[in-house]
A and B are shown apart, each in its own frame.
Chain A
Amino acid sequence: MRNNAFWLILQKLRTPLLVIIVTYSIAILGMVLIPGMDDNGQVYHLTFFDAFYFVSYMASTIGFGEAPFAFTYEQKIWVSICIYLTVVGWFYGIGALVSVLTNETLKRELMRSTFRKKVLRIQDNFVIVLGYSQINAEIIKKFHKAHIEVVLIDKSEERINHFLLESLSVDIPMMVGDGLLTDTLIDAGIKLDNCKAIVSLFADEEKNLRISILTRFLNKRVKVLAKSTNQDISHSIIDTDIAKVINPFEVFAKRLDVAINSPHLLILENWIYGNSDLSDKALFLPDGKYIVCGYGRFGKALQEKFEKNDIPYIFIDEKRIAPKKMIESGTFIRANPDNKDILIEAGIQEASCLIVGTKNDIDNLSIMITARKINPDIYLIARENTMQEVSIFQEAKIDWIFIIEQIMVNKTSLAITKPLKHHFLNLLLKESEHLANSLVKLLRSNIGDKPILKHLAINKEESYAIYHEIKQGQEVKIEVLQHSLSNWQEINNVIPLLIKRKDEDILLPKDITLQIGDELLLACDKEGREEIELIASNIYELHYAKYGKEKKVGILGKFFS
Chain B
Amino acid sequence: MNLQKVIAGFFFILAMTLNFGFVYGDITHPELHNVYELFAALVVSLISTVLKIGDKTQLGSVLLASSLVADIQLIAAVTVWTITEYVSVVNPEAFSTIISLSGGALLANIVSVVLYIGETLKSKR
Q: Please tell me which one of the listed residues A1, A32, A47 contacts residue B56 in the complex, with CB atoms under 8 A apart.
A: A1
Check if A100 is an interface residue, CB within 8 A of chain B: no
User: Which of A13-21, A186-194, A407-415, A452-460 binds B?
Assistant: A13-21
Asked if B39 and A18 sit within 8 Å, CB to CB, the answer is no
Check if A84 is an interface residue, CB within 8 A of chain B: no
Asked if B50 and A25 sit within 8 Å, CB to CB, the answer is no
Asked if B39 and A28 sit within 8 Å, CB to CB, the answer is yes
* Closest CB in chain A relative to B54 CB, distance in Å: 4
* A29-B51 Cα distance, complex, nearest whole Å: 22
With contact pairs A1-B56, A48-B35, A49-B82 given, residues A18 and B43 touching in the complex (Cβ less than 8 Å): no
Asked if A14 and B43 sit within 8 Å, CB to CB, the answer is no
Residues of A within 8 A of B53 (CB): 10-11, 14
Q: Please tell me which one of the listed residues B35, B43, B51, B56 contacts residue A25 in the complex, with CB atoms under 8 A apart.
A: B43
* A377-B37 Cα distance, complex, nearest whole Å: 103
Residues of B within 8 A of A25 (CB): 39, 43
Asked if A18 and B54 sit within 8 Å, CB to CB, the answer is no
Q: Please tell me which one of the listed residues A1, A18, A47, A49 contacts residue B47 in the complex, with CB atoms under 8 A apart.
A: A18
Asked if A48 and B39 sit within 8 Å, CB to CB, the answer is yes
* Closest CB in chain B relative to A538 CB, distance in Å: 59
Identify which of residues 44-89 in chain B touch chain A, using a CB-to-CB cut-off of 8 Å.
Answer: 46-47, 50-51, 53-54, 56, 78, 82, 85-86
Asked if A11 and B54 sit within 8 Å, CB to CB, the answer is yes
* A191-B114 Cα distance, complex, nearest whole Å: 42
Identify which of residues 1-46 in chain A touch chain B, using a CB-to-CB cut-off of 8 Å.
Answer: 1, 7, 10-11, 14, 17-18, 21-22, 25, 28-29, 32
Identify which of residues 72-101 in chain A touch chain B, using a CB-to-CB cut-off of 8 Å.
Answer: none
Q: Please tell me which one of the listed residues B50, B51, B54, B85 contacts residue A47 in the complex, with CB atoms under 8 A apart.
A: B85
* Closest CB in chain A relative to B68 CB, distance in Å: 12
Asked if B46 and A29 sit within 8 Å, CB to CB, the answer is no
Q: Count residues of B near A (Cβ-Cβ below 8 Å).
A: 15
Asked if A17 and B85 sit within 8 Å, CB to CB, the answer is no
* A21-B82 Cα distance, complex, nearest whole Å: 20
Asked if B35 and A21 sit within 8 Å, CB to CB, the answer is no
* A7-B85 Cα distance, complex, nearest whole Å: 38
With contact pairs A10-B53, A14-B53, A18-B47 given, residues A29 and B39 touching in the complex (Cβ less than 8 Å): yes
* Closest CB in chain A relative to B51 CB, distance in Å: 8
* A17-B43 Cα distance, complex, nearest whole Å: 12
Identify which of residues 79-103 in chain B touch chain A, using a CB-to-CB cut-off of 8 Å.
Answer: 82, 85-86
Asked if A18 and B50 sit within 8 Å, CB to CB, the answer is yes
Asked if B86 and A14 sit within 8 Å, CB to CB, the answer is no
* A33-B117 Cα distance, complex, nearest whole Å: 36
Who on chain B is nearest to A7 by CB? B56
Interchain Cβ contacts under 8 Å between A and B, 13 examples: A1-B56, A7-B54, A10-B53, A14-B50, A21-B43, A21-B46, A21-B50, A25-B39, A47-B85, A48-B39, A48-B82, A49-B82, A49-B85
Binding site for B on A (CB under 8 A): 1, 7, 10-11, 14, 17-18, 21-22, 25, 28-29, 32, 47-49
**Given A48-B82, A49-B85, 17 additional A-B pairs, CB 8 A:** A1-B56, A7-B56, A10-B53, A11-B53, A14-B51, A14-B53, A14-B54, A18-B47, A21-B47, A22-B43, A25-B43, A28-B39, A47-B85, A48-B39, A48-B78, A49-B82, A49-B86
